[in-house]
A and B are shown apart, each in its own frame.
Chain A
């Protein structure tokens, strides 16, 4: 006998292999093997289903399957997208330059910082350029 806990912010009926088998956030007994986990009722959650192989669990240490409400999931996805768009290289560069800054004299620091500053400038330059061209067109 194996055990699984399906996490969801609210109490919903859990379907295992298409059949109603208990509720979310409780520890449910299941047969060992591969099972499809879904929630009954509205399909306002993500992922739409989760296929998992359940083996080697106990009631104290069940397999955890997590579903997210679609709204929350969309918000999380948006945050992830924004994080991807945001200029992430900055902290990386800083991390790489720190040892260099320690080894070399303080005078060289500004010299190295210049190209670092240029990079984001280059990326944003295109956008800025596009904006300025658009602005020029608008002016015309």
Chain B
């Protein structure tokens, strides 16, 4: 009798395990691309479409440390009045691009707006046991059985947990179109390039983002390799869905010698459009860009978008415009581009230098994994700063000579610990990348974000210009 009972339990467990499957992202309605459908820049009513300033905020990775720093920046923007006190800086934000920990704040703000900020703090930031609860959820017998399935893994469990504590099952269909255009980024495992959860990015794989839960995007963005498994998306790519990139796609094929970055962007799209790739596996956005600036940087420097039928014709009552800041600059729709990069990067102490002993294998692996990421982030920040100063110099020179060219000014503001005095930096450098920071540390992070942004001269200049 007991054997029979065990047999029945085992059989039902196996059946449950076999049934467990990650929520499959559906194909587009009628498997046809509609360039006006879904969560895309063209569908948004962002402030830049009404005024002449484009404000882009990027939130880096770094667990709760990054989420809290991002939260502090949002609060400071909210508390900074502009236009004679009739509005504030937060209302003027057009685009939020995020990675990993920063994606919690970005997605929650996109869904619930400024009124939802206290809830984000209460349900996520001030919950030092999030990481523990996430780990314990794998020990739940029901989850443990589901995890036996090759089609259900820890990342799916994490997405379910984030859904439960923060996002209430919201899909992209519920993302307000009058909120900032929110780009939650992951990394495509095979291509090694960033993958953004927007319909523009989902069009080439002929999939419908509207029915995908926001929590899955956030989980992808924070799927730190090894600790969490990659998240899988099904690709329905093929000629049947009718996706066609813009004219730039064929022209960029010639650009290997003149612009290798553009050539690569084209090849990445070609790979996405391939009917031979049936699945995409996405990991932490930090693997491709831990600052969350690569997507916005592409839009600032390039007119190439993934948007189909991107004519952006101003004579059209409903123009289809992909997200290109460069396009808006050349069309003279905007005169000011502001990028606020919230960078929660910490610097670890140089402990190895104090000993003659060969470093242990785990710290070496951690360094080898983290160093390219840190260097790439550093390069992204440096590249943006250099680009902006060059473009400002170019515009100023052209204006002095009376050249008829768009008069646009670029501002770059970095919110990072490295501007603090060294003794203050040490306090934040000690905070690890996890979801288990104490309430006090979260409060310190929020306060320091406000201080750094408030003290920034570049930020003061922008606020003064927007009065």
Given contacts A31-B302, A53-B254, contact A36 B330 (CB under 8 A): no
Contacts of A15 in B (CB 8 A): 311
Cβ–Cβ contact A34 & B251, under 8 A: yes
Given contacts A1-B394, A29-B326, A34-B251, contact A20 B246 (CB under 8 A): no
Interface footprint category on A? 20 to 34
Given contacts A53-B254, A60-B397, contact A29 B329 (CB under 8 A): yes
Contacts of B247 in A (CB 8 A): 17-18, 36
Cβ of B301 under 8 Å from chain A: yes
Give min CB distance, A36 to chain B, whole Å.
5
Given contacts A17-B304, A31-B262, contact A60 B401 (CB under 8 A): yes
Q: Find residues 25-44 in chain A having any chain B CB closer than 8 Å to their own CB.
A: 25-36, 40
Cβ of A13 under 8 Å from chain B: yes
Contacts of A22 in B (CB 8 A): 330-332, 406
Cβ of A58 under 8 Å from chain B: yes
Contacts of B405 in A (CB 8 A): 3, 26-29, 59
Give min CB distance, B335 to chain A, whole Å.
13
Cβ of A7 under 8 Å from chain B: no
Q: Report the tally of A-B residue pairs with Cβ distances under 8 A.
A: 116
CB-nearest residue of chain A to B394: A59
Cβ of A132 under 8 Å from chain B: no
Contacts of B326 in A (CB 8 A): 29-31
Contacts of A59 in B (CB 8 A): 394-395, 397-398, 403, 405
Interface string of A104-136 (1 = CB under 8 A from B): 000000000000000000000000000000000
A81 to B247, CA, bound (A): 35
Cβ–Cβ contact B258 & A18, under 8 A: no
Interface centre among B319, B321, B329 (most CB of A within 10 A): B329
Cβ of A78 under 8 Å from chain B: no
Give min CB distance, B243 to chain A, whole Å.
15
A-B contact pairs, 18 of them (CB 8 A): A16-B303, A16-B330, A17-B247, A19-B246, A19-B327, A20-B312, A20-B327, A21-B330, A26-B404, A27-B404, A31-B303, A33-B258, A33-B259, A33-B262, A53-B255, A53-B258, A55-B258, A60-B397
Residues of B within 8 A of A (CB): 246-248, 251-252, 254-255, 258-259, 262, 301-305, 310-315, 319, 321-322, 324, 326-327, 329-332, 387, 390-391, 394-395, 397-398, 401, 403-406
